[in-house]
Structure formats: C-alpha cells, structure tokens
Amino acid sequence: MQPSVPEHTKPSHLKSSLPLTSRKVGASTPSLITTLERHYGPDAGKVLDQFIVKSLDGYAFYDTNDTLVFCNPAFAHVFKKPQNTTVGLTFSELMRASFLDEHGLKLDNLSVDEWLEFSHKSRRSRPFRWYELQFKDDRCYLVSEQTHADGCVLIQLKDISQHKNREKHMGYELRKLSQLSMVDDLTRLPNINAFSTDVEAELNRCTRAKVPACLALFELNDFSRIVDKHGRGGGDAVLVLIGQLLQDHIRPYDILARVGDTRFGLFLAEVDLPLGRVIVARLQHALDQETLVSHTDRVQFGVSSGIADGGVNSTFESLFGNALNDIKKAQASHGREIGYHDAMASYYRPLF
C-alpha cells in the first residue's frame, strides 16, 4: 500500500472537504455548483462568474422572450458593443444592429429579414445545435446553442477565424494544385485528366439530350526526327504551334486538350460523323499549311488524325481507343487518307 498524502501537503487548489476514503467509484457525478461550493464555499458563485467574465469565449443567456438577460464581455465584443448596452436587446435587435455595422454580421445573398426568419424557425427547434456566424471583417465564430425545457437559451461563441483562414488558404492551394494537375505545362491546354473528365460529362449530356458527338485525335508524326534535327526546343515549339492552330480553328465550347506527348484530343458535342469528318479535314488542312520558322530555322512537320463518333453506349475509353486505332492504321499505311469504317475516319500527312 502506498502511504496516503497528508491533506496539509496538497496544493490548496486540490484540497477537498471530503476525505479520499469517502470517494466511491461509480458514484453519481456532482453538479458544477455543488463542486464549486465544495471547493470554494460561499464564494462559489463569484468564482464561476470570474471564470465566465475572463473567458475568451462568448457566453450569453436568452430568456423565454428571446431577450438577452446576460452576456460576458467576450460576447459583447463579438458584436462591437458595450456589455451594458448589449444586455436587454432581443436576438433580432442585436442581429439587425450588427448587420448595419461595417464590421458586423455578413449574410451572403440574404436580407436580414430573410436570415432572421430562417433563424427563428431554427432556434429552439432542438435541444442542442451548432452553426457559424461570419462577419464582414472576416471574423468567424462557431455558435453552440443549448435550449432548456422552459425555452431559455444558453449560447457559447468560439472564435474560429484563424482556423477558417487556414482552411481558406488550404482550399486556395488545393485549387491551384488541382488546376496545375489538370493543365499541360507546355501548351497550357487541359491535359488528359481534365479531358477525360470533361468528355465523360459531355458524353452523358449528349446521351440524355439524344444528340451526336465525336472525338478526334491529332498526332505529330516523327517527333524524334524533329528533335534530332532541331533540338528539343524545336520539337516543343511545334507542339505549342499545333495546340494554338487547333484552338484558333474550333468553336469556343469544343473541348481541346493535349492528351499525350505528341497527341491532341478534340471533343465535338452535337456533331455527327459526316460533319465531324469535314471539321477534321478542315483542321488537317490548316495544319498542312504550317511550317514553323524559328530564327533562320524552318521546321516542317506532319500530323495524323482520326475521328470516332459516339454511339449510345460510348465511353471516353471506347471513343479514344477507336480514334487512336484509326491513327495507327493511317500511320502504318502512309497514305494521305484511308477509308472510313465503323464510324471512324483518319488522315495521314507524311513528314517531308
């Protein structure tokens, strides 16, 4: 057995009027008031008041008429009002006054009357609830609201502004990272991740609307030969030029992306295969006319293209695969054009 610690050797804040031997495991937990009275005697009320007054959290008590009958300084400070003029206001009066203040309550897309109507329906709707209050100076408070059976309400406000600012900053950084992960560094066009996501969404829309759609691919031929002759910079410049040319010759709402090292994808919503063939031929012709001129260097290039139309059960993968197979057949044949088959067509232009 360990020797008991004499009561007089304990710190004063740990002394208890009850001997340790009288405490029973599993006994009912005493109330806060009882505990404070046990520790502080007749000064228990003053001690509790000091805790609340000095707290950095806001505390307030509303009576059954929704009139504020008590608040601590921290609560009054939230609304930029003196404590003595805050007590006595109804909930609606305090919120209206705060809304009119330049640093006061921020209500996105709601008038103060609409917000109060919603609040009155929510207040006292359940014994305990949480919500947030935002202010025009970017402060934010977490509100915990506890309703007694008689209709009185105890409120606690906790400042979570720093947490929300960190959350906002993290959200901004995540959006930046997300955008970077969806954009090709070289051409600044969407990449394969963005393309697949957008095409799937558009395919679903076209299916619901019962309208046609096509997916075309354009591939730079003999990229390694261009790099060997003109350097990596020359090859990259050709890719950028192809992206710009395609972008300049399509509709604003067509989806264009760089979907591989030397490959570009184009999704044409509400375009059937015959019209898609015409569009691809026009784009192919525009690319055929181009030669990259860099200082005294002239870079000739060739591009292969293929197109597939979207049927009832088409997916991004099936469309992409069909168009890609068509390009491979065109490149293997080295012909200017091969025949259309199974809703697919392709073109090939030799490098030199």
**Three-state SS letters, 145-162:** EEECCCCCEEEEEEECHH
pLDDT of the residue at 296: 58
Looking at the predicted structure, is the pLDDT value of residue 13 above 60?
no
> Who contacts 99 (Cβ-Cβ below 8 Å, separation ≥6)?
105, 107, 112, 115
Q: Average pLDDT of 61-87?
A: 96
What 13-16 contacts at long range (C-beta under 8 Å, 24+ apart), as own/partner pairs, is 13/39, 15/39
Looking at the predicted structure, is the pLDDT value of residue 31 above 90?
no
pLDDT of the residue at 295: 57
Q: Which domains does the chain have, with CATH numbers?
A: 1-54 (no CATH), 55-180 (3.30.450.20), 182-347 (3.30.70.270)
Which of 25-34, 204-213, 260-269 bottoms out in mean pLDDT, i.e. has the lowest? 25-34
Which of 49-58, 134-143, 147-156, 230-239 bottoms out in mean pLDDT, i.e. has the lowest? 230-239
Which of 166-180, 295-309, 317-331 bottoms out in mean pLDDT, i.e. has the lowest? 166-180
Looking at the predicted structure, is the pLDDT value of residue 9 above 50?
no
Confidence of residue 11 (pLDDT cuts 50, 70, 90): very low
Q: What is the pLDDT of residues 176-187, one digit of tens each?
A: 776 668 899 899
pLDDT of the residue at 334: 59
Helical axes 44-54 vs 32-40, angle rounded to 10°:
110
pTM of model > 0.85: no
Beta bridge partners of 341: 344
Q: What is the pLDDT of residues 131-168, one digit of tens each?
A: 999 999 999 999 999 999 999 999 999 999 999 999 88
pLDDT of the residue at 352: 33
Confidence of residue 173 (pLDDT cuts 50, 70, 90): confident
DSSP string, 89-148: -BHHHHHHHHHHSTTSB--TT--HHHHHHHHHHHTTSSSEEEEEEEBTTS-EEEEEEEE-
